[in-house]
């Protein structure tokens, strides 16, 4: 039932990852749905209240839950925590703890300190999640997975930028056309590296990368028109998205 609850949560709050998970092998869903449900809970924790202290407490709750899982002791009762405890090992729990810590940036309205800080944030939020999923699913080298995850994180940041700015956040270190172009170029470079090293990611582990099926089109669109990020990227055709996901699931995440 906890796995079913995780799937329902992801379907409602993160439909793209839900679709990607449903395109993955059934055995992979048992790992992906708890991880993605956890990510939903953690990523929205800073936004459900205007009180920073309450948001901090919500994130700390998840850090405490992960510590309980890492220590293999008694774990608090919660549908997502129950499902997580059945799939995480100590290494995975500690990796996800770093993800939760990084989400503290979302609570406040401070800008990133520089490009390195942004990269660290993307690696912690997008990279730790995808690497944990890949490692738990099957053999994979870490670097290509994290390079791909970085590209996905950049693409998702571009898509979310207007809403984040409307909420008084500063998602981009350099929001100028040149700055956006440079970041898109860096994301595309990450995609290229990952595709070149695709043999280092086993078929089983590759299910973790299906959730990035929209990253390539988004990054190429921003590369061609960096000013479009400030306007808000247009929604893509749902049918085209479904076809691309089907193609990626059939031929491989590097398509």
Do 175 and 198 share a domain, yes or no?
A: yes
Last residue of a domain, which of 46, 77, 108? 108
Do 120 and 222 share a domain, yes or no?
A: yes
pLDDT of 158 over the 90 cut: yes
Do 116 and 97 share a domain, yes or no?
A: no
Last residue of a domain, which of 55, 86, 108? 108
Number of domains in the chain: 2
Q: Can you tell me the mean pLDDT for 61-69?
A: 97
Do 118 and 59 share a domain, yes or no?
A: no
Do 65 and 166 share a domain, yes or no?
A: no
Do 127 and 246 share a domain, yes or no?
A: yes
Do 95 and 180 share a domain, yes or no?
A: no
pLDDT of 73 over the 90 cut: no
Q: How far is CA 120 from the centre of its chain?
A: 13
- HEC string of 91-145 equals HHHHHHHHHHHHHHHHHCCCCCCCHHHHHHHHHHHHHHHHHHHHHHHCCECHHHH
- pLDDT score at 234: 86
Range of the domain at 18: 1-108
Do 219 and 120 share a domain, yes or no?
A: yes
**Residue 30: closest CA among 71, 73, 74, 88:** 88
CA angle 129–131–132, rounded 5-degree value: 65
Q: Can you tell me the mean pLDDT for 25-44?
A: 97
pLDDT of 69 over the 90 cut: yes
pTM of the model: 0.96
pLDDT of 244 over the 90 cut: yes
- pLDDT score at 219: 97
Residue pair 240/181 in contact (Cβ under 8 Å)? The answer is: no
SS3 73: coil
- pLDDT score at 252: 87
Do 239 and 123 share a domain, yes or no?
A: yes
Do 144 and 73 share a domain, yes or no?
A: no
Do 225 and 152 share a domain, yes or no?
A: yes
pLDDT of 1 over the 70 cut: no
Q: Can you tell me the mean pLDDT for 156-179?
A: 95
Last residue of a domain, which of 79, 108, 137? 108
pLDDT of 98 over the 90 cut: yes
- pLDDT score at 229: 96
CA-to-CA dists, residue 35 to 92, 150, 219, 236, angstroms: 10, 18, 25, 26
Do 98 and 186 share a domain, yes or no?
A: no
For residues 32 and 24, what is the distance between their CA atoms, to the nearest angstrom?
9
**Residue 80: closest CA among 168, 136, 13:** 13
pLDDT digits (tens, 9 = 90+) for 199-232: 999 999 999 999 999 999 999 999 999 999 999 9
Classify burial at 200, counting beta carbons within 10 Å of its beta carbon; exposed 0-12, middle 13-18, buried 19 or more: middle
**25-29, 46-50, 218-222, range with the lowest pLDDT:** 46-50
């Amino acid at each position: 039932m906890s796995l079913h609850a995780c799937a329902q949560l992801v379907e409602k709050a993160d439909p793209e990852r839900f679709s990607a998970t449903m395109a993955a092998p059934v055995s992979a869903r048992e790992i992906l749905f708890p991880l993605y449900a956890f990510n939903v809970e953690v990523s929205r924790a800073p936004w459900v209240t205007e009180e920073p202290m309450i948001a901090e407490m919500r994130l700390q709750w998840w850090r405490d839950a992960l510590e309980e899982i890492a220590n293999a002791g008694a774990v608090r009762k919660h549908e997502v925590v129950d499902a997580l405890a059945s799939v995480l090992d100590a290494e995975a729990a500690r990796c996800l703890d770093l993800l939760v810590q990084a989400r503290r940036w979302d609570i406040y309205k401070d800008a990133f300190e520089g490009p390195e800080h942004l990269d660290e944030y993307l690696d912690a939020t997008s990279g730790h999640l995808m690497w944990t999923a890949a490692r738990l699913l099957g053999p994979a080298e870490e670097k290509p997975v994290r390079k791909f995850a970085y590209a996905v994180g950049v693409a998702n940041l571009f898509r979310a930028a207007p809403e984040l700015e409307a909420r008084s956040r500063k998602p981009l270190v350099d929001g100028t056309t040149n700055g956006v172009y440079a970041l898109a170029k860096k994301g595309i470079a990450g995609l290229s590296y990952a595709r070149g090293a695709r043999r280092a990611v086993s078929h089983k582990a590759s299910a973790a990368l299906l959730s990035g099926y929209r990253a390539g089109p988004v990054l190429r669109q921003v590369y061609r028109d960096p000013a479009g990020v400030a306007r808000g990227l247009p929604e893509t055709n749902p049918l085209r998205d479904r076809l691309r996901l089907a193609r990626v699931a059939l031929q491989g995440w590097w398509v």
